Amino acid sequence: MNIKQKIKQILLLSFVVFGNWAYAIRPYSETTETIDSISRFIDLESVSIQAVRANERTPVSFSTMDKTEIQRLNNVTNIPVLLQLMPSVVATTENGTAMGNTSFRIRGVDASRINVTINGLPLNNPASQEVFWVNLPNLSGFLNSVQVQRGVGTSTNGSAAFGASVNLETEKISPQPNLDVSTTVGSFNTLSTNVSAGSGLLKNGMFAEGSYSKINSDGYIRNGKIDYQSAYFSTGLVKSKPFLKVNYWYGDQKTGITWRGATKEQLERDRRFNEDGLIFANSPIRYDNETDNYRSHIFQAFYAYTISDHWIFNTGFNYTNGFGYYETFRANRRFSDFGFNPQTVDGTTYSRSDVIRQQFMSNDFYVANINFMYAKNSLNMTIGGNYSYYDGDHYGRLKWVQRNENISPKDNWYENVMKKTEASFFTKFEYTFFEKFNAFLDLQYRYVNQELSGVDSDLLQLDFSKDYSFFNPKIGLSFQIDAHQKLYAFVAKSSREPRRSDVKENANVKPEHLTNYELGYQINKNRLAFGSNIYFMDYKDQFVPNGRLSESGYALMDNVAKSYRLGVELVGGYQICKPLRIDANLTLSQNKILDYLVLDALHDPNTWLPVRPVQYKERTLKSSDLAFSPNVVGSGILTYSPIQNLNIMLTGKYVGKQFFDNFSTPENQLDIYFVCDLNVRYEYPLKGKDGRKIYVQGVINNLFNKDYISNANTYTTYFIDGTSFTESRFFVQAPIHFSIKLGVKL
């Protein structure tokens, strides 16, 4: 088989395996015959993600977005906002736009419990177990496809999946040389420039391609500015049996801090209000370098080899290096808070001073995995293993001290180190019998060791070391009723160790466990696609926000003994006529804590610190709603293509009421919101080779100028004298705003 024939098969299989309606369900009846006809051929470039992805016969609920849909939805968009139209996804942003700090929840589960891989290798930070998308600028511009498996899903690499797993696949090899240049301008002084180029596949099987992106914006919220650079480079070798590919990402971001939100009183005075950077609470004077700064380097290498007609071997390696810091101004702070002695300046001794703090993080993350894939007759099997090691250093320094005698900007006021080792193994079996039934069995074992030592930012000593062992079995069955209909059932268990922030606050925190049940039905016939999925997620010792925040803004967690999520997901699409199509999804759910034992932290009002209590008081709630878990979530897309190469999309996102505490406090609810965007893209083909074009894309976000809030936090400080103080803060989203992209692809 020559290289050209191989590339044709690679592209064909890529379409078969990953082409999908992102928001409905795939018309599998149209692709089964094609898959069967090339079942002996495996796309070596995709082996690394095949090991962790679901296919049409896998009995789990998932959605896939292909490159075409990514291009249509991505002007200047972080991954959480890109995926917000998928079932059960709720995205939120800090600076009010799709850039800056963004996050998402799936089925109400927060981002620290959503597994993310890129090309099959883990992307979650092992300490926080979260992906901070702001540290990976314009990652959506480098992607070929995204698959989201809701619930536990199939075994994957890295952090445990407690709400979903998100698998990202980067750009596939282009068979021809290419150049793509685009510029985007938009509201809030947004300017983005992207350049990508590739050699195509050369006669000797070599290839090389790369991209560079630069993004600047003021953001909507005051101090929501961003200054991003990112780059991607890939090279490798394609032969008839072996495949080798090396990837490199570079990300450099500087983002204004916006994590505090604003109170209702502050928002009434100024909807764009942000307290971060204020010198004093009621002063107009600001410190304008209140920023989050981070630089990351990610290296990946993949090797795949066809051992025989039935066996494929592949291995992957990932190294991530990250370094960053927060810079914040703090007024009139005690030197003792930083472990320093009072300072004598011009004969006067001071116990307090204004300071500028820098809190650093430096980390190295190493990952290696190996997979063997077997396919013969009705049996498919994958045997995989993953090993990772993380070394993260946290420390703080005072960049500037107003009243300074002998404090150097190189003196650490705290330093602590987290080391984390993980080893996991899984075996997946898929067996088709009686032509219509497909049985699925997935057995995974995870071993985790966490060690945390040193001094925390509040000067308390940290000393934690623990091993965790988890066995996570999964079993399912799908039934192909006919060429157009499918039923499936799935049961899975997952377990998860606590995060660094959890063990810092409570060394006795327990791991959490989940048993996930899924039952689904799909039909694809003629112009109609429809799917329904019922899920029940039964938790033991689930982590939930306890109503307290760290000084850097993250929610502190406690275990709750019993809780569950029960819901139904409805997904559908209909081709109304040739130029007009509608896709929609709707999730209806209940999300409850049972017999909630609440531990209210009591502080001494004379020596109050924001995190450390002096004692606790117990109270019990029989039942309450899980925070950030709306009972109704839906989205829809109306796509109109009146002429060739013109695509007009009207999208809508509905999010029902949701509590932002775990106590079902009536006043602690976010209102319902429904937001529409309009997206228009036109491509003008150029003469010559296929794919050459000029394209223009315009997006109007928040088309009907809705005033809405997507996220909030609340905390109550209780004091031992019986008094308390409660404060709630909200994250408003930008009103109507615009962007337009102009590009050329050669």
Is pLDDT larger for residue 43 or for residue 580? 580
Q: What pLDDT shows up at residue 734?
A: 97
Q: What is the pLDDT of residues 292-336, one digit of tens each?
A: 999 999 999 999 888 998 999 999 999 999 999 999 999 899 999
Query: What one-character-per-residue DSSP string does 404-443 give?
Result: -SS--TT-EEEEEEEEEEEEEEEEEEEEEETTTEEEEEEE
* Predicted confidence (pLDDT) at residue 732 exceeds the cutoff of 50: yes
Q: What pLDDT shows up at residue 40?
A: 32
Report the chain's mean pLDDT, rounded to a whole number: 88
Strand locations in 497-644 (E) = 512-525, 528-549, 555-577, 580-603, 615-625, 632-640
DSSP-derived 3-state class of residue 5: helix
What mean pLDDT is predicted for residues 67-90?
Answer: 91
Task: Please name the amino acid found at residue 742.
Answer: L
What the block records as the tokens of 195 is: 């350049």
* Predicted confidence (pLDDT) at residue 22 exceeds the cutoff of 60: no
| Per-residue confidence band for 6, with pLDDT thresholds at 50, 70 and 90 | very low
* Predicted confidence (pLDDT) at residue 549 exceeds the cutoff of 80: no
| Per-residue confidence band for 35, with pLDDT thresholds at 50, 70 and 90 | very low
What the block records as the tokens of 225 is: 């500015």
- Please say whether the beta carbons of 98 and 81 come within 8 A: yes
* Predicted confidence (pLDDT) at residue 26 exceeds the cutoff of 50: no
The single-letter DSSP state of residue 17 is H
CA-nearest of 179, 211, 210, 214 to 193 is 214
Query: What one-character-per-residue DSSP string does 344-411 give?
Result: EETTEEESEEEEEEEEEEEEEEEEEEEEEEEEETTEEEEEEEEEEEEEEEEEEEEEEESS-SS--TT-
| Per-residue confidence band for 278, with pLDDT thresholds at 50, 70 and 90 | confident
Query: Lowest-confidence range among 201-210, 579-588, 648-657, 734-743?
Result: 201-210
Q: What is the pLDDT of residues 148-157, one digit of tens each?
A: 999 999 988 8
* Predicted confidence (pLDDT) at residue 499 exceeds the cutoff of 50: yes
> From the CB of residue 408, how many other CB atoms can be counted at a distance below 10 Å?
10
* Predicted confidence (pLDDT) at residue 705 exceeds the cutoff of 80: yes
Give the chain's domain count.
1
Q: What is the pLDDT of residues 354-374, one digit of tens each?
A: 999 999 999 999 999 999 999
- Pairing of β 437-455 and β 412-433: antiparallel
pTM of the model: 0.91
Q: What pLDDT shows up at residue 251?
A: 95
The single-letter DSSP state of residue 585 is E
> Could you tell me the residue range of the domain that residue 20 belongs to?
3-745
Q: What pLDDT shows up at residue 526?
A: 87
Q: What pLDDT shows up at residue 603?
A: 79
Q: Percent of the chain at pLDDT above 90?
A: 69
Q: Percent of the chain at pLDDT above 70?
A: 91
Is pLDDT larger for residue 424 or for residue 4? 424
CB contact burial 424-454 (16+ within 10 A = b; e otherwise): bbbbbbbebeeeeebbbebebbbebebbbeb
| Per-residue confidence band for 50, with pLDDT thresholds at 50, 70 and 90 | confident
| Per-residue confidence band for 343, with pLDDT thresholds at 50, 70 and 90 | very high
* Predicted confidence (pLDDT) at residue 477 exceeds the cutoff of 90: yes
| Per-residue confidence band for 51, with pLDDT thresholds at 50, 70 and 90 | confident
Distance CA 349, CA 24 (A): 68
Q: What pLDDT shows up at residue 558?
A: 82
Distance CA 424, CA 509 (A): 22
Separation in Å, CA 295 to CA 219, 229, 254, 298:
20, 10, 9, 10
Q: What pLDDT shows up at residue 538?
A: 97
Q: What pLDDT shows up at residue 607?
A: 67
* Predicted confidence (pLDDT) at residue 49 exceeds the cutoff of 80: no
What's 196's domain CATH number? 2.40.170.20
| Per-residue confidence band for 37, with pLDDT thresholds at 50, 70 and 90 | very low
* Predicted confidence (pLDDT) at residue 657 exceeds the cutoff of 80: yes
